Amino acid sequence: MKNKTAAAAGAALILTAGCNGAPETEMGDNPFFTGSTLPYGLPHFDLIEDGHYRAAFERGMAEQIEEIEAIASSREPATFENTLVPIERSGRLLDRVARVFFSLSSADTNDAINAIRAEMAPKLAAHSDRILLNADLFIRVETLHESRNDLDLSPEEVRLVEQYRRDFTRAGALLSESEKERMREINAELASLSAAFSENTLDEVNASAVVVDSADELAGLSEGEIAAAAEAAKARDLEGKYVIALLNTSGQPALSSLEDRALRERIMKTSLARGSRGGEHDNREAVVRIAALRAERAALLGYPHHAAYILEEQTAQTIEAVDGRLSGLTPRAVANARREAEDLAELARSEGADLEIAAWDWSYYTEKLRAERFSFDASELRPYFEMDGVLVNGVFFAATQLFGLTFEERPELPVYHPDVRVWEVFEEDGAPLGLFLGDFYARPSKRGGAWMNAYVSQSGLLGTQPVVANHLNVPKPPEGEPTLLTFDEVITLFHEFGHALHGLFSNVRYPYFAGTSVPRDFVEYPSQVNEMWATWPEVLRNYAVHHETGEPIPGDLLDRVLSARTFNQGFATTEYLAATLLDLAWHQLGVGETPDADGVLAFEEAALEEAGIAFAPVPPRYRTTYFSHIWSSGYSAGYYSYIWSEVLDADSVEWFRENDGLSRENGDHFRETLLSKGGSIEAMDLFRTFRGRDPEVEPLLRRRGLN
């Protein structure tokens, strides 16, 4: 299930483990038991304590099982109204606590939350199995499925019947009792392993921060970046030193500026070694066990491997379709990356550095080459990208022009961290639409990357309106300093708000289909389309102004930035495809084919070689041992979805350009045909209705300079 049990069991896939429990509070004080009294059902972050979660989870699971048993044991003939509607209504308490808990376990975790995650992961997996492997409940769903075309059901209701039947069979409803028992064991162990992987990854990225003794070694960084490194060291009781914190990706931002090659090498090698160095944070055992269990589960269900099991529910549908798309991109990307490496090496030689370009050199010389070719470097842009200006005068402005939305900040509403902000979102006629939370700064308690989540999903059945949140990891400047974004961070801000719009515009009856409840290889598509407005002239002129003088970004600088859009795309595409192909290699393994822990890195090396994408100066964006997307965040056999969605995105951007771009008419068309439908209609049918035809790949090739 994608909601209720999936809000818990599905979210259990992103748990992390811990060791310290949280004290229980009095049952009557638990804010989850009665739900929220705040606008739109915003969680009572001002009342929620760590000690509330365990009791709310336990009661929430018990309540939902009681509700499910009542449905399954009914003597009345199965109907849509007495079977699927009450399933959709079930588990409200569990849904409330799961949404908050799993959101905070990613955005603001601590030892108590980690301990609860470790404890709840197998329990939630077992809870989901109690529902999806309930034989009596499945009989009722199967009965509805067999007669669905003879019933007086709406198209959304027919689809709901079909999706539930598929969920039950994919969970193992047709297995023998002994096979079901093995399935329960597999799911429980997978939940615990994913939790352990996630905690190891977060703990090690914090523990692996690089300590620098002297400011002289930081030559190339700005004064603000050096001050932030000193603050980070002070926070770790390393007064007088400097700390370069790591992000979750292989590459690290400081590598583009640091002049000290030895320090660049130390940072890069530290980053690439995460999860594979032995000790408490080593993830190799977890990786091979997860891969083996996923292969076994797929075999139990009749699939050759985990990738086949996953892709069946995606728009791609088969591994052959994905391989076909990637095989056309990989050689072009690698060829471009090799040409780029030659250009970087030539630049280095011109400066008297006789070296082979290594992974730790790439970003440094890329910025130099960018400055030489296009007469600017990335640091020139940042004064024009002050975060509040980008958000209000860029992201929100574009949403107003396209969709008529307005935004009112609500500082009186409670939040879970002082950095979080809340806006109420209104339709053009003033009708309330929902709440938007922004959590933009990095911190040690927050996992890396950027993402969107929904604290409340829209549903006509439940009468709920959306509460959605965006999370980024922008380094927080010293007190009193402005937050100046990189160009990539600007694009990320627009991207994540595209997900938020997908959630805010949801207009479905059943919670199952709400918001971003679409296939994994489709969910990134609307958010990627929203990136286009970051460089749309009317939008960019409105937000890209100097944070001190108010002067607009110079036209010639902007022209040079836009002309450089295909620059370094060989690198960007290659590092992404390398991670994608690693994901698919691990998840095409059958039963008995996974290596042991000592063979993880050798398997990775062989997989990259076989795929034709092994190129040492461009390591995968994520290596196996810190690839949280595929081991603990729901993207297993699905990391390809970013490039798959980008085909749809690039084609859709062409449609907007062909139809006069930033207009209410275009925004309304996109909203009505696609953004508002959630998962209530098959994903590619949504695209065809919006675009008027099947997607074409050529716009993507042009965008990435691969044509």
Q: Is the pLDDT of residue 506 over 80?
A: yes
Mean per-residue pLDDT, 599-603: 98
CB 503 within 8 A of CB 516: yes
Output the average pLDDT for the chain. Answer: 93
What residue spans define the domains of the chain?
A: 5-132+134-171, 208-272
pLDDT value for 447: 87
**Cα dist. 351→255, 368, 375 in Å?**
18, 11, 17
Encode pLDDT of 114-153 as tens digits: 999 999 999 999 999 999 999 999 999 999 999 999 999 9
Q: What interhelical angle do 284-300 and 569-587 show, nearest 10?
A: 60
- Global pTM value: 0.89
3-state secondary structure of 549: coil
pLDDT value for 88: 98
Q: 133 vs 354, which has greater pLDDT?
A: 133
Of 3.40.50.300, 3.40.50.720, 1.10.1370.40, 2.160.10.10, which CATH number belongs to 5-132+134-171? 1.10.1370.40
- Pick the closest to residue 433 from 467, 472, 386 (CA basis): 467
Encode pLDDT of 145-197 as tens digits: 999 999 999 999 999 999 999 999 999 999 999 999 999 999 999 999 999 99
Mean per-residue pLDDT, 270-293: 96
Task: Tell me how far apart the alpha carbons of residues 627 and 290 are, in angstroms, rounded to a whole number.
Answer: 13
Q: 157 vs 558, which has greater pLDDT?
A: 157
- Pairing between strand 421-426 and 406-409? antiparallel
- Pick the closest to residue 283 from 14, 575, 631, 593 (CA basis): 631
CB 208 within 8 A of CB 179: no
Give the confidence band of 703 by pLDDT, cuts at 50, 70, 90: confident
CB 425 within 8 A of CB 436: yes
Burial classification of residue 541, based on how many CB atoms lie within 10 Å of its CB (0-12 exposed, 13-18 middle, 19 or more buried): middle
pLDDT value for 28: 62
Task: Tell me how far apart the alpha carbons of residues 237 and 450 are, in angstroms, rounded to a whole number.
Answer: 28
Encode pLDDT of 408-461 as tens digits: 999 999 999 999 999 999 999 999 999 999 999 999 899 888 999 999 999 999
pLDDT value for 275: 95
Is 66 an annotated catalytic residue? no
Only one residue has tokens 């107003």, namely 400
pLDDT value for 11: 34
pLDDT value for 333: 94
Phi and psi dihedrals of 134, rounded to 5? -80, 110
Q: Is the pLDDT of residue 19 over 60?
A: no
Q: Kindly write down the DSSP assignment for every residue of 22-63, as one continuous string.
A: -PPPPGGG-TTTT---SGGG---TTT--HHHHHHHHHHHHHH
Catalytic residue among 340, 496, 524, 575: 496
Q: 362 vs 374, which has greater pLDDT?
A: 362
Give, rounded to a whole angstrom, the gap between the first and last alpha carbons of the chain. 41
Q: How many residues appear in the chain?
A: 707
**R_g of the chain computed on alpha carbons:** 25
